[in-house]
Amino acid sequence: MASRMAVMPIDRAGTRHPQAEACARCAVRSQSLFGALDEAGLDRIHTRIEGLDMAPDETLYARGGDGSALYTIRTGVVRFERSTARGDRRIVRLAGRGDLIGLEALLQRPHADDAIACTPLQLCRIPRVLLDELGQDEAALTRALMQRWQDALDQSEAWVADLATGPARRRVLRLLLRLTELTEPGQPIWLPRREDIGAMLDMAIESASRFVSQLRREGLLSITGPRSARVDRVALLQAIEAQDRS
């Protein structure tokens, strides 16, 4: 018995590995990739998952790079950018808490977009080979992965329908709605720079500024700091409805 203990990793003697603790306590676990795994399953993988933080505007990965890892977002917002044939960039999707990003790495494909931190991030880095190994026998994991893919597809199609459709004011309103979904209820939202709003909604930064200011005057939006604001969710939904009726 004592000898069995002796061959275990030194940091497992008595207490669990710190990352195992982190995974077990992780608040996003139920909605995250390994939610389907039990404690034993977690113990098998935790040593190879690495928690890391990133600052706003840092790049997780670049388009074209062949990634060796995926990331689960524990807190924060990530944007996916592509640069068009002209020099200008276009933001095609946002991801937030609980989302698994960089899925194309599992298929040995190069990354389709630049992935860039919008807010300070807390991430879990999951090596691709880890999922390759688990994928052999964990049907639940396979299913969870497919759900992630479908979630991303849903988001992308909703982006076309909601954020790339209609007059500029409508698009700004729907962007604010999406931003509230990426934030804990009651918390201030991440408010993008005007240039980023332009890259999301395909409008000039002056237009973005005009509508943000307009909504501020209407009392629907109040800015609480740089890159931070509060929205009156009820008024926002009313405004969207009014916009769609007219």
Contact between 189 and 180 (Cβ < 8 Å): yes
Distance, CA of 150 to chain centre: 14
Q: Does 82 engage in binding with a copy of itself (CB under 8 A)?
A: yes
Distances (CA, A) of 104 to 51, 71, 91, 96, 160: 21, 12, 18, 18, 21
Instruction: Mark residues 129-158: x for contact with a copy of itself by CB under 8 A, - for none.
Output: ------xx--x--xx-xxx-xx-xxx-xx-
Tokens of 90: 């276009």
122 binds, among a copy of itself, DNA, none (CB under 5 to 8 A by kind): none
* Cβ atoms 80, 93 nearer than 8 A: yes
Instruction: State yes or no: residue 234 binds a copy of itself (CB under 8 A).
Output: no
At residue 154, what are phi and psi to the nearest 5 degrees?
-55, -50
**Total residues belonging to the chain:** 246
143 binds DNA (CB under 7 A): no
* Residue with smaller CB distance to a copy of itself, 20 or 176: 176
The nearer residue to a copy of itself, 18 or 167, going by C-beta atoms, is 167
Stretch that binds DNA, among 8-16, 72-80, 108-116, 189-197 (CB under 7 A): 189-197
User: C-beta of 142: minimal distance to a copy of itself in Å?
Assistant: 6
Residue 204 binds DNA (CB under 7 A): yes
**Interaction pattern, residues 157-176, with a copy of itself; x per rule: CB under 8 A:** x-xxxx-xxx----------
Write the Ramachandran bin of 66: left for phi over 0, alpha for psi from -120 to 50, otherwise beta. beta
- Say which entry of DNA, a copy of itself, none residue 12 contacts (CB below 5 to 8 A, set by partner kind): none
- The b-or-e profile of 211-238 (16+ CB within 10 A means b, else e) is bbeebeeeebbeeeeebebbbeeeebee
Which one of DNA, a copy of itself, none interacts with residue 104, CB within 5 to 8 A by kind? Answer: a copy of itself
What contacts 153, CB < 8 A, 6 or more positions away?
A: none
Q: Which does 210 bind (CB under 5 to 8 A by kind): a copy of itself, DNA, none?
A: DNA
Cα–Cα distance, 160 to 89 (Å, whole number): 16
Residue 12 interacts with a copy of itself (CB under 8 A)? no
Quick one: which of 192, 206, 183, 186 has its CA closest to 163? 192
User: Which residues of the shown chain bind DNA in the complex (CB under 7 A)?
Assistant: 167-169, 193-195, 202-207, 209-210, 212-213, 216, 223, 226-227
User: Which residues of the shown chain bind a copy of itself in the complex (CB under 8 A)?
Assistant: 80, 82, 84-86, 90, 92-93, 103-104, 106-107, 109, 112-113, 135-136, 139, 142-143, 145-147, 149-150, 152-154, 156-157, 159-162, 164-166, 202, 240-241, 244-245
